């Protein structure tokens, strides 16, 4: 199948973001910058699977973490360390099964509330991204050698950032409209609008995500589970079940599930890390 110029640009943007994420931390994380459409298939065959303990909710106790309020002149690295102590330099994607059971009407209401685009509508700093890309192209880390002129690097950086902006705009436009993602944390526990303006690398945004979700990225590969035996006790005749699988960044999103269990007391939440990715 012949690839269009737009698809080639999008693929180049994705490859660039993956490459940037592997470079020096000073360049900043960009793995959340360009998000695919909500129903797009994301390559996860190479994502390593971690080994957190299984978590059954409700009944989980949140530790008394102090609130994080970065002030003017705050040390960004110190705030990041406090905000997300388990955020890895290279994201470790963990596979989970989630089972929600309870009265059929409450489960149906929860399923409607949980559906969304699967996207956090960050506002990206495209000028900064363009500069990061430009400097990466003109001063690649050893043993790589620069192969572009300054003018060529500037043109390529601008083109790639334009592709990133296009993909991101398409994804963000689905927020509030698409229900393709069956379990969308932003639909259930939305990131405050004021934090969205800071972008995915902002210390205050990361602090909020860690405090309220327990993971610093949107869930990926959310899929309904239609077969197998649900985790947890057998269903009663008047009960229904909601089951999905997903991949979470670096850690089980136990903080989000604890809050959801508190908000939906009639439902039982069982979250199970899976190591067979099935």
Measure the CA–CA gap between 174 and 84, rounded to whole angstroms.
28
Tell whether omega for the bond before 226 is within 30 degrees of 0, i.e. cis.
no
In this predicted structure, the answer to whether residue 5 has a pLDDT above a threshold of 50 is no
3-state secondary structure of 96: strand
Mean pLDDT over 45-72 rounds to 34
Position with higher pLDDT, 172 vs 51: 172
pLDDT of residue 16: 52
How much of the chain, in percent, has pLDDT values that exceed 90? 38
The pLDDT confidence band at residue 115, using thresholds 50, 70 and 90, is very high
In this predicted structure, the answer to whether residue 97 has a pLDDT above a threshold of 80 is yes
In this predicted structure, the answer to whether residue 46 has a pLDDT above a threshold of 70 is no
Lowest mean per-residue pLDDT among 73-77, 148-152, 235-239, 242-246: 73-77
**In whole angstroms, how far apart are CA 89 and each of 30, 31, 106, 147?**
12, 11, 39, 27
pLDDT of residue 102: 95
């Amino acid at each position: 199948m012949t690839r269009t110029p737009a698809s080639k640009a999008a693929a180049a943007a994705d490859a660039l973001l993956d490459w940037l994420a592997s470079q020096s931390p000073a360049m900043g994380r960009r793995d959340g910058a360009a998000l695919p459409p909500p129903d797009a298939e994301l390559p996860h065959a190479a994502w390593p699977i971690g080994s957190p303990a299984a978590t059954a909710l409700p009944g989980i106790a949140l530790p008394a973490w102090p609130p994080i309020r970065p002030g003017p002149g705050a040390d960004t690295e110190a705030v990041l360390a406090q905000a997300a102590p388990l955020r890895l330099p290279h994201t470790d994607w963990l596979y989970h099964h989630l089972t929600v059971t309870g009265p059929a009407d409450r489960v149906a209401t929860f399923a409607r509330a949980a559906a969304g685009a699967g996207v956090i509508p960050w506002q990206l700093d495209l000028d900064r991204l363009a500069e990061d890309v430009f400097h990466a192209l003109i001063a690649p880390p050893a043993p790589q050698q620069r192969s572009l002129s300054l003018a060529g690097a500037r043109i390529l950086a601008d083109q790639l950032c334009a592709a990133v902006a296009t993909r991101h705009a398409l994804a963000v436009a689905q927020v509030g409209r698409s229900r393709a993602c069956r379990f969308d944390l932003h639909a259930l526990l939305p990131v405050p609008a004021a934090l969205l303006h800071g972008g995915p690398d902002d210390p205050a945004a990361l602090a909020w995500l860690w405090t309220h979700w327990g993971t610093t990225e949107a869930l990926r590969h959310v899929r309904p589970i239609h077969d197998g035996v649900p985790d947890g006790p057998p269903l009663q005749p008047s009960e229904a079940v909601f089951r999905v699988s997903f991949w979470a960044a670096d850690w089980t999103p136990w903080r989000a599930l604890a809050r959801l269990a508190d908000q939906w007391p009639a439902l039982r939440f069982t979250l199970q890390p899976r190591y067979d990715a099935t």
